[in-house]
């Protein structure tokens, strides 16, 4: 008995060691590759970064000057995308997680269609956005078209993550709310959504990340114009599109392309940080874990 037991223990220990090794190695590999990428960007682009780069207009086809109007366009497109996707996505996630049975037909149809939407190539989204938002709805090449198209692209990730985090909230809390006589709407507002807020934020960050990383979809919807937009119906170039143009289309645009990429990453850090802070604020205000 003891021999079998000690064999089992030592096998467990080797497995433990192997697994630990594998996990640490993977984490190091991933972190290392990302730092390599970031280092490359910093090496080539940090020289061009400055406050004037952030606010001045691009000149000489983007090779000189800055990215001021482009930043504004990007933020506006993002704003439109978030304003469209968050209410729609949250509503769908709440429906899927709270109101529908797991086996309901409508729920499965919505879930399936979201999974498929996640796999549609971005250029198809761009062409669809062009045909639907620009031509059919008459918005033309505009920030609005671009933002709405991006909202369509970010929805699947948003909904999936939101749904998962809502489902993760323990059922006891729902029963507690019911015991207190709260309507489901009130329970959602005061208890469930704050409890799921960290997961919701993770979904939002992934969705925003996906939106900001998009290029192909925006070529056909929000367009190429690098002027400061004067309204949401103006065409405006997004940062990712600017990076693409500078690195692939304009000779000598590499340095500014790298710098723009760094600005994009910086923007992401800012947005992610804000989202996390917001999530913690809600959670700490509503839920006391004893």
**Contacts with another protein in 191-230 (CB under 8 A)?**
193-194, 197, 199, 202, 205-206, 208-210, 212-216, 219-220, 223-230
Which single residue is written with the structure tokens 């400055």?
50
Q: Does 124 bind another protein (CB under 8 A)?
A: yes
Query: Are 241 and 211 contacting, i.e. CB atoms less than 8 angstroms apart?
Result: no
Q: Does 233 bind another protein (CB under 8 A)?
A: no
Q: Does 74 bind another protein (CB under 8 A)?
A: no
Using alpha carbons, select from 220, 203, 38, 207 the residue that is nearest to residue 124. 220
Binders of another protein among residues 248 to 277 (CB under 8 A) are 248-252, 257, 261, 264-265, 268-269, 272, 276
Using alpha carbons, select from 234, 256, 218 the residue that is nearest to residue 61. 256
CB of 276 to another protein, least distance (A): 8
Please tell me the distance from the alpha carbon of residue 71 to that of residue 39, in angstroms, as a whole number: 23
Q: Which residues contact 83 (CB under 8 A, 6 or more apart)?
A: 147
Binders of another protein among residues 22 to 51 (CB under 8 A) are 22-24, 26-27, 29-31, 33-34, 36-37, 40-41
Q: Which of 114, 150, 191, 263 binds another protein (CB under 8 A)?
A: 114
Q: Does 56 bind another protein (CB under 8 A)?
A: no
Please tell me the distance from the alpha carbon of residue 240 to that of residue 244, in angstroms, as a whole number: 6
Site string for another protein, 5-24 (x = CB under 8 A): -------xx-xx-xxx-xxx
Please tell me the distance from the alpha carbon of residue 128 to that of residue 148, in angstroms, as a whole number: 11
- Nearer to another protein among residue 53 and residue 192 (C-beta): 192
Binders of another protein among residues 87 to 106 (CB under 8 A) are 87-89, 91-92, 94-96, 98-102, 106
- Nearer to another protein among residue 53 and residue 236 (C-beta): 236
| Token reading at 178 | 């019911």
Q: Does 115 bind another protein (CB under 8 A)?
A: yes
Sign of CA dihedral 83, 154, 107, 189: negative
CB of 52 to another protein, least distance (A): 19
- Nearer to another protein among residue 12 and residue 47 (C-beta): 12
Using alpha carbons, select from 217, 198, 235 the residue that is nearest to residue 152. 217
Please tell me the distance from the alpha carbon of residue 188 to that of residue 202, in angstroms, as a whole number: 19
Please tell me the distance from the alpha carbon of residue 280 to that of residue 282, in angstroms, as a whole number: 5
CB of 147 to another protein, least distance (A): 11
Site string for another protein, 128-147 (x = CB under 8 A): x--xx--------x------
CB of 265 to another protein, least distance (A): 7
Query: Are 213 and 240 contacting, i.e. CB atoms less than 8 angstroms apart?
Result: yes
């Amino acid at each position: 008995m003891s021999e079998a037991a000690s064999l089992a223990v030592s096998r467990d220990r080797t497995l433990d060691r192997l697994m630990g090794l594998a996990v640490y190695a993977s984490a190091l590999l991933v972190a290392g590759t990302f730092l390599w990428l970031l280092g490359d960007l910093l090496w080539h682009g940090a020289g061009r970064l400055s406050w004037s780069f952030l606010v001045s207009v691009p000149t000489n086809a983007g090779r000189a000057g800055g990215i001021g109007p482009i930043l504004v366009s990007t933020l506006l497109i993002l704003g439109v995308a978030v304003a469209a996707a968050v209410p729609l996505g949250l509503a769908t996630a709440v429906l899927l997680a709270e109101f529908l049975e797991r086996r309901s037909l409508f729920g499965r149809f919505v879930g399936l269609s979201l999974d498929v939407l996640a796999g549609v190539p971005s250029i198809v989204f761009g062409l669809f956005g062009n045909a639907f938002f620009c031509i059919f709805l008459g918005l033309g090449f505009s920030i609005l078209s671009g933002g709405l198209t991006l909202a369509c692209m970010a929805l699947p990730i948003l909904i999936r993550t939101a749904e998962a985090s809502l489902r993760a909230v323990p059922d006891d809390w729902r029963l507690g709310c019911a015991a207190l006589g709260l309507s489901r709407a009130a329970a959602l507002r005061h208890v469930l959504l704050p409890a799921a807020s960290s997961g919701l934020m993770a979904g939002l960050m992934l969705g925003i990340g996906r939106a900001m990383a998009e290029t192909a979809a925006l070529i056909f919807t929000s367009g190429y114009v690098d002027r400061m937009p004067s309204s949401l119906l103006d065409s405006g170039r997004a940062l990712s599109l600017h990076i693409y143009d500078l690195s692939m289309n304009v000779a000598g645009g590499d340095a500014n392309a790298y710098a723009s990429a760094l600005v994009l990453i910086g923007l992401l850090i800012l947005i992610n940080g804000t989202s996390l802070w917001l999530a913690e604020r809600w959670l700490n205000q509503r839920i006391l874990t004893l």
